Amino acid sequence: MLNNNAIVGVIGSGAMGAGIAQVAAVAGHKVVLYDNNAAALDKAKGNLIITLQKLQEKGKIADAAAIINRFSFAAQLSELSNCNLVIEAIVEKLEIKKSVFSELEKLVADDCVLASNTSSLSITSIAAACTKPDRVFGLHFFNPAPLMALVEVIPAVQTEPSLIPAAKALMQQWGKVPVIAKDTPGFIVNRVARPFYGEAIRIYEEGIADMATIDWALTEIGGFKMGPFTLMDYIGHDVNYVVTETVFQSFFFDPRYKPSFSQKRLLEAGWLGRKTGRGFYNYAADAIMPEANKDTVLGYRIVERVLVMLINEAVDALHLNVASAEDLELAMTKGVNYPKGLLHWCDEWTADKCLALLDALYHEYHEDRYRASALLRKKGTERERFFPAQ
């Protein structure tokens, strides 16, 4: 049952779970936040109170106390039994998620809807752990959930079709921008964005440019808010690398998604990025950040190479019906704050130019990593656009 009166349960009180719970409570729902770790639950409760009070002080909400009173904090899974919608936001391990869903559905009513916030795992596999898999779907928020507008809504093979428009409408009521994605690895954002990291690392590993130069090129010339190495350090390599590895394995080891040894070694060293003080960059107080080589010719080469790989990935996602053209554009601008949608960017550059750039990379490397999507080849050959000219 998905409506304004639904009682919303959230499993997992980490940053993501607590953030989703906050969004639901601010939207007017009663919320049950569950965690089997009492210390984590207490910490989440304290943080939510502080956050909501700050939002009231800034005039962004009217009554923090009223919103806090919508919460209950649960140490037992059985306390979710009265919920109408339960969103799982725990560790990205399939077997653990399946176990939780299997246990959960024994406790809730038959009309309770179950959603997973997984960023890259199969919704269909999670649903298969349930005796009523038709009530399971994906609801992927982006971190931090209260600030990020995008939510990916993902039906499993088994999902009751009417659930998806209802979920989309509910997310709109919560003030979010929902997009519908096919249940394929990485859905939209974590699939299409892979070259932003992977191709940047490849350029670095080949010695074409250092990290600071690549970051400079993609921010100053490309218009991205954060360079790939800065962003990977910000996300954390325990998250970013694992998503890359998961997508690579899930796509039957397609070389387009191949992880890098450079990032794997950082993970093995425990250099996870900003949170550990060391990643691609050193964040120690006395560390000197490297200077970029601001050669604009080199900068444009870097931007072209990374961007044409991103464009090809978006075009291929459209070709394989992962999402509509409109939802692909929304996902990349609202989910990862790209300066413009990749299909619009392709139209701006022209599909024939994008195809020529990609074919040149394929001719140079003879790697399947650089193969052009069949749809990009069609658009490029026929000089067609994805959207009407303005």
Domains within the chain, CATH numbers bracketed: 8-183 (3.40.50.720), 188-390 (1.10.1040.50)
pLDDT tens digits along 18-72: 999 999 999 999 999 999 999 999 999 999 999 999 999 999 999 999 999 999 9
Q: Residue 137: its pLDDT value, please?
A: 98
Q: How far apart are the first and last CA of the chain?
A: 42
282 carries an active-site annotation: no
- Give the mean pLDDT of 332-339: 95
Paired with 138 in beta bridges are 116, 154
13 carries an active-site annotation: no
Q: Residue 1: its pLDDT value, please?
A: 65
Q: Which one of the listed residues 116, 117, 119, 373 is annotated catalytic?
A: 119
Q: Which one of the listed residues 105, 152, 199, 313 is annotated catalytic?
A: 152
pLDDT tens digits along 240-261: 999 999 999 999 999 999 999 9
152 carries an active-site annotation: yes
Q: Is the pLDDT of residue 196 over 70?
A: yes
Q: Which one of the listed residues 29, 88, 116, 140 is annotated catalytic?
A: 140
pLDDT tens digits along 336-389: 999 999 999 999 999 999 999 999 999 999 999 999 999 999 999 999 999 999
Q: Which one of the listed residues 120, 190, 312, 373 is annotated catalytic?
A: 190
4 carries an active-site annotation: no
Within 13 Å, how many C-alpha atoms sit on residue 333's CB side? 14
State the DSSP H helix or E strand holding residue 114, giving kind and residue range, or none if neither. strand 113-116
Alpha-carbon distances, residue 123 vs 4, 24, 139, 156, 272 (angstroms) = 25, 22, 10, 5, 28
Confidence (pTM) = 0.95
pLDDT tens digits along 301-321: 999 999 999 999 999 999 999
- Give the mean pLDDT of 265-283: 97
